[in-house]
Amino acid sequence: MLHWTTRPVGWGIKWAEKKLPQLLQGERAPYGVYPFFELGGNVRVAYGLLLYHNKFLKYNHRIRLEALFGSKEYNDFDFKYSIPAFISQANQLEINTSYSNDPVKSLYGGNNSALADEQLYATEEVEGTIEFQHTISSTTALSVSSRYRNFDITDTQTIIDDPLPIISEQLKGTTSLLSLGSSLHFNFVKGLPRTVRGSRYTIGLNWNHSLNNNQFHYLHYNLGWEQFLPIPFLPNSRRLGLKTNLKKAAPLGNKEIPFFTYPNLGSSYDLRGFSSGRFRDDGSLLVTLEYRYPMWSFADIVFFVDEGQVFSQYSDIGINDFHTSYGFGFHLISTKGFAFRSEFAFSKESSRVILNINPNF
């Protein structure tokens, strides 16, 4: 029924592709300026600009600048400079810097926390990263990175005026962190523009140490697996996508882990039906299943279920401790692959509308 009720729209799009190709088959210029906006959150609406240049200098370096303005207490600036073919064709170097401040963030707690446990805090963050990427083979890549982050955890007039409690004084303050890390990526997927079969694997490890005090010293590692399976007896474009991800933070010696770097669940990439950062602890485990059905040549309709939990020790993981979110959405597909997604996610606590230019996986 879904297939046939959408056919008239599909026929109209195919007619437009033939008669009006300049409207549907245009290419983005090598450089430009675009407006963008953000909806939701505590500021409700924020506006900004995207500036980019994909052929900067004669070496075709890439520059990308995003500036988002919500209020004097909510802003976000990101700058990325990419150098392809760094030293050799198999390498790439990326330099990223960012600044953001947010007047209201929520801290709930562990896997059994309730909405009534919500506490508020505000942040101001500065970050700088240098990442070296090396392509080992057509299926394997290695990345090595160094990152500096400065977090200022405080309160603002916005949360002081809010009836919800504020985090304790011992959690506030400024922390500077130095991180050194590496990750190994294996990519065996097939299909373009749609990924129809194959798998991806990620192994990552990061060492972290606080620079302005001797309080924090810890490791952070993650394991990821993504699998794509075409449905038997149907065209390959009808496929299932499975994503599993395990993250764990472990203190070194008698040191601690800052609460704002704990693995957490609740975002547009994991438990999509829950509020941001809803569950937080030393570790997190996520399993996502999606059914992707091509509605038209350039769009998929997607049905998904997310299952996830956070934990302190591996022995705490239990089959009855998973939290569930579910929903559906629409993914736009360009000739080069994924282009945009809009999703509607639900859980027993809340519902969310997600608009994102980045794929979930």
The pair of structure tokens assigned to 247 is 């993250």
Q: Please, what is the average pLDDT of the chain?
A: 91
Burial (0-12, 13-18, 19+ Cβ within 10 Å), 361:
middle
| Top-confidence residue, 302 or 16 | 302
Under 8 Å CB-to-CB from 89, ≥6 apart: which residues? none
Taking a C-beta distance cutoff of 8 angstroms, is the pair 151, 100 a contact? no
Sorted by where each starts, the structural domains of the chain and their CATH numbers stand as 2-356 (2.40.160.50)
Model confidence pLDDT, tens digit, residues 322-344:
999 999 999 998 877 888 899 99
Whether cis (ω within 30° of 0) applies to the bond prior to 35 is: no
Model confidence pLDDT, tens digit, residues 211-224:
998 999 999 999 99
pLDDT band at 36 (very low <50, low <70, confident <90, very high): confident
How confident is the model at residue 344, as a pLDDT? Answer: 96
C-alpha closest to that of 225 among 284, 279, 287: 287
Taking a C-beta distance cutoff of 8 angstroms, is the pair 146, 129 a contact? yes
Taking a C-beta distance cutoff of 8 angstroms, is the pair 185, 143 a contact? yes
> What ranges in the chain are assigned the alpha helix state H?
2-5, 7-19, 21-24, 157-160
Model confidence pLDDT, tens digit, residues 52-93:
998 888 778 999 999 998 877 789 999 999 999 999 999 999
pLDDT at 171 over 90: yes
Expressed in angstroms, the distance from the first to the final Cα of the chain is 28
Cβ density class 83-104: b for 16+ within 10 Å, e for less: beebeeeeebbbebebbebbbb
pLDDT at 3 over 80: no
Taking a C-beta distance cutoff of 8 angstroms, is the pair 308, 287 a contact? yes
